[in-house]
Amino acid sequence: MAFDLVTPVLPALLPLATVLLIRQLDNSLSVSNSKPDWDHEYDYIVVGSGSAGSVLANRLSEDPDVTVLVLEAGGSENIVSDVPIGTTSLQKGPLDWKYETEPQHASCYGLNGRRSQWPRGKVLGGSSVLNFMLYIRANPRDYDNWSYNHGCEGWSWKEVFPYFLKSEDNTDPKYARTPWHSQGGYLTVSTPPFATPLAQAFLAAATFMGSKVTDLNGPIQTGFMYPQGTIRRGARCSTAKAFLLPCKGRGNLRLVTFAQATKILFHGYRAKGVRFAHFGKMYQVFARKEVILSAGAINSPQLLMLSGVGPRFHLEAHGIPVIADLAVGDNLQDHIYPGGVHFSTDHPVSYKEERVAVPSNLVKYFATGSGPLTALGAIEGLAFMKSRFSNITDDYPDIEVHFISGGPMSDDGKTIRKTSGLREDVWRAYFKPFSHKDGYSIYPVLLRPKSRGWIRLRSKNPFSPPIIDPQYLTHDDDIHLLVEGMKMSIKLGHAPSFAQFAPKLYDRLFPGCEEYLQWSSEYLACVARSFTATIYHPVGTCKMGSHLDASAVVDPQLRVLGGIKGLRVVDASVMPLIVNGNTNAPTIMIAEKAADMIKGSRKRGEI
């Protein structure tokens, strides 16, 4: 569910040219794009400027006595990326790496080539420019589990919680004035100013589901909420806006865009610098203290392996000299949902392109930061629920629900077919008959998947996309839990609060699942294996853990193991287990904590 905001609204942008120009100038960053705009040597080199790299750039450059270079493979954000409701229109565009997985043998049957599309941000701000902006910290138990059960000393909830608060600038008094939130940080967190009637119906359905409306970032995670997101005055607040813009006057910080790192340079076991490509030419820069990889759960392991850090058998197969034999690229985890539970209605209550992408809403958005364009990709409800497989006495839900006020085909299927890779025959048979309808969609998310995948090099060519194989639904427990999530979603969609809209559950048989009784567990399992969708949360491929853990890549200080010196990984790839919620806020937290670790190491003379 999303909108093409470029074609239908371009004429309406012309009268707003002055406003748009001012906004773009306010959000512009000082970057170096021609030699010799950067120096030969810096104290720290940060590879990647995404949710983690932008934070590191800001925090490390707070010290005027150190110099920091940030290498970013992409360019800058644009006006379209600012608009919250248009988030998926950015996929497959110039800000996206446009990755896709290998064909899946236990899932993705209804997608082209059985491949899942994996958008990743190739831009200042990284995937925080492409995401749905949802602000969720996950569950305290996640971090205690890291610390006490997975050798990640120092990463308990008590120890990481202050770093969430350090970043946050919550603008909603209802939340900001509680001990669970803070104001004054760089990252703006706010409640979207617009909601459809469906949002209220969703919140009212909490009681029907035996739950309640609560702050999902508060003391109890189980419950329902109208979501908060990383938006500022109605526009996306990426980590580039939040953390890099305030640094634009710092002379000790240099950003180089369109600079793709191709190799970490070693002197023995010490990382000494980075080789990178910039407009067709190769350059080298050197680090006096550390090289820090913040390129994400796909590109960080890829760069390590290209540089000789990874599984020996794999590197030798590609003729890459091995510096450290580590489990780089293993432990890949992702949050997925089955293609959703969809309801149609004849009431004009949801986001539809012909009503939303109109000049009057554009004027309202750019002039006042209000109106339907401020919706978080049309997500108007979040819920964390416990299935029958969970412990009813614990606050550790195993299903997250994304509630979208709109059908998946409200733009005649253009966006979903492009972004998910949905097969044409599946779209025509199942979704197209409802494309003219209003409606709402409920997506149950598998929070703690047991399936594990991997990242591997396709070749030693740094410009070849890596092999991404998430091995979706290869563990039987995952499909059983997704089926339960779909049953819970069907019940939720029939809550009395929605009756005013006379909703109807899509009644077509899903292609390929005709042999099963509709709505049976077998049928729902078939649907889940046919339309298996990522919610863009790859983690774990440079696992953090004890030096005694053979599967660990970095230690609890995020330093690369195997005798390597001067090299850390700071991004979502270090998570030993995926968190119980969306991953953007936890990734920012990881970088906040890592920055203090790095500063502490410097003060102690360790680097």
Positions annotated as catalytic residues are 537
Contact, 302 vs 466, CB < 8 A? yes
Q: Is 583 exposed, middle or buried (0-12, 13-18, 19+ CB in 10 A)?
A: buried
Tokens encoding 400: 């997250």
Q: How far apart are CA 343 and CA 528, in angstroms?
A: 17
Angstrom distances, CA of residue 365 to CA of 321, 369, 385, 414, 484 = 54, 4, 34, 24, 39
Cβ neighbours, 10 Å, residue 521: 15
- CB-count burial class (<10 Å; 0-12, 13-18, 19+) for 563: exposed
Q: Do residues 400 and 481 touch, judged by C-beta distance below 8 A?
A: no
Residue with tokens 């990382």: 271
Sign of the alpha-carbon dihedral angle for 65, 56, 456, 258: negative
CB neighbourhood size of 162 (10 A): 13
Q: Are strands 270-278 and 259-267 parallel, antiparallel or unpaired?
A: antiparallel
Please report how the helices 584-603 and 53-60 are oriented relative to each other, as an axis angle in degrees rounded to 10. Answer: 30
Residue-wise over 70-79: b if at least 16 C-beta within 10 A, else e?
bbbbbebbeb
Give the closest residue to 559 by CA, choosing from 321, 239, 309.
309
Instruction: Quote the radius of gyration of the chain (alpha carbons, Å).
Output: 23
Closest Cα partner for 292 from 602, 34, 603, 604? Answer: 602
Query: Tell me, what DSSP letter sits at residue 344?
Result: E
Could you tell me how far CA 383 lies from the centroid of its own chain?
18
